[in-house]
Structure 1
Amino acid sequence: MSITSIAGGAAAAIGAVAATPARDDPRYAQIVDTLVSPDATQAQRDHAYDLVAGLETADDTPLTDAVLTERAAQAIADDRTIPVVVAEVAPLVAPGTALGPFPSSDAAAIDMMTYSNPLSIAANLENGGLIFRDPDGNHFFVTTPMGGTLDGFDPGQVPQPDGMALVACYHGHADYSKTDGSRTDKAGDEFNSDHFSAQDKRLADRGFWGSVIYVSTPSGDFRKYDAATRQDTVIN
C-alpha cells in the first residue's frame, strides 16, 4: 500500500467523524430520554435528538424547557418512525394524534389504554381512539384518547391519517356507575362495565371501526374482541 493511499484513507476517516453530529447537548438528550421509548434503537434516538435540536435552530431563539418539550413531543409524533413513552407524549399532543410505531395492534392498545383508562375512570366518562396499520403492514399506530359520555364513545370524531388502514378501535368504560351517573362499586354497577356491551361486539362484527375492538374497564382489565374468531379475551 502506498503512502498516498494511507493518507487518503485517514483523511476520509477524519471527514466521516467530522460529518457525524455531536448530539452532546444535555438539554436535548434529557428530552429524548423523557419522550422516547427505551426500546428505541440508537438510530431512532439520534433521529429524535436531531428533531429536538432542529426546533430551536428553526426559531433561531432559545425556548423554555416546557415549550421545547411540548414541541418535541409533537414533532416526534408527527415523524412516526420513533417509538415513544405514551404516558409522556400523549398529554403534550392533541387528542386524536396517532402515536407509534408499535409491533402489533395489541401492543398499541395495551400501551395506550394503560394511559387512557385512569383518565376515563377519574372523569367517569368513556374515552377512546383508533388503531391503524401502515401501508407495509409492519407497524401499528394508536391515537391519543378523545372524550365520550357516561355510556358511549364516538369513534367517528377521531382523525384518520392518510395512507393508513383502520384495524381496530379502543375505548374505556369509565367507572362503576348507576345509570344516573353516580359512582358506585362493582356490585352496584348498572352498565356491566367490566365487559363488552352487545353493541361493542356488533360494531366489530360489522367492521365499522375495524374487526377488532378493545375495552379498558374499572377493574383494570383490558379486553379484546376479535370478530374473525368471536373470541373475547383479557390481554393484560
Structure 2
Amino acid sequence: MKTKILLAEDDPDFGMILKQYLELENFEVSWFQNPEDVAPLLHNDFPFQIGILDVMMPNIDGFSLAKMIIKEKSNFPLLFLTAKNQKIDRLTGLKIGADDYIPKPCDPEELVLRIKNILKRTLPATTENQIKIGAFSLDTTKLLLSHPNGNNRLTIREQELLLYLLKHNRTIITRDNILDNLWETNDYFTGRSLDVFISRLRKYFNSDPEIKIQSLRGIGFEVDFPTN
C-alpha cells in the first residue's frame, strides 16, 4: 500500500514538481494549493500518513495549518518547507510539533530521504512494544508515553530520539553521533533542532528525578534511564 502524503504548497510550479517526483517514488500525493481546503478533512476520514507544509502560504500559513492538524491528529508527522533563513521560523515549526524541515528550493532526493526517515520508526533491540522507563511506559506502536499522572503522545522524531538514548543508556553520547544517525546531517540548524527535542523529552520526564538527560558542554549528553 502506498504511503499517502498531504502536500500543502501554493506555488503551482514547485508544487507540481514535488507531486510528480514523489509519485515517481511510489508515494500517493494529495496536493492542496489552498491550505483552507485541508481544514474540513480533519473532522472526517484523514487518510494521510505524513504532511509536507510550506511555511509561507496565503490565508493560512504553514505554522497555523500545522497547529490545526496537530490539535486533531496529535501524533501526525509533519515536515516544513521554508524559503526563509531566520532561525526563529525553523525553531517555531519544531516547537509546534513538526518532525523536520527542509529549505526551499530543495533537492527532491533529499526530501524523499527525509520523508522515509520520519516514517521509519526506530525500535530498540527488543521485540517488545512496551518499554518501561522508571515510572513511565512507552508504547512504541502508539507513540504513547504513559505515566500515572498523565500521558504524552510523542512525535515520531521524539520517539526516535528517545529510543536512541535508551540504546545508549548510562553512556556518553556525542551530539555528532545523534545528528549523524537520526538527522543524517550536522549543521547549526539541526543542532538547534536537537536541543528543542532534548528539551521536550526533559519536560516529559520532569516528574521522575531518577531519569536524567544531562548535557555535557562541547560533547553531548549522558543519560540515565531506570529500566527495571
Q: TM-score range by the shorter chain?
A: 0.3 to 0.5
> Which of the pair has more CA radius of gyration?
1
TM-score, scaled to structure 1: 0.31
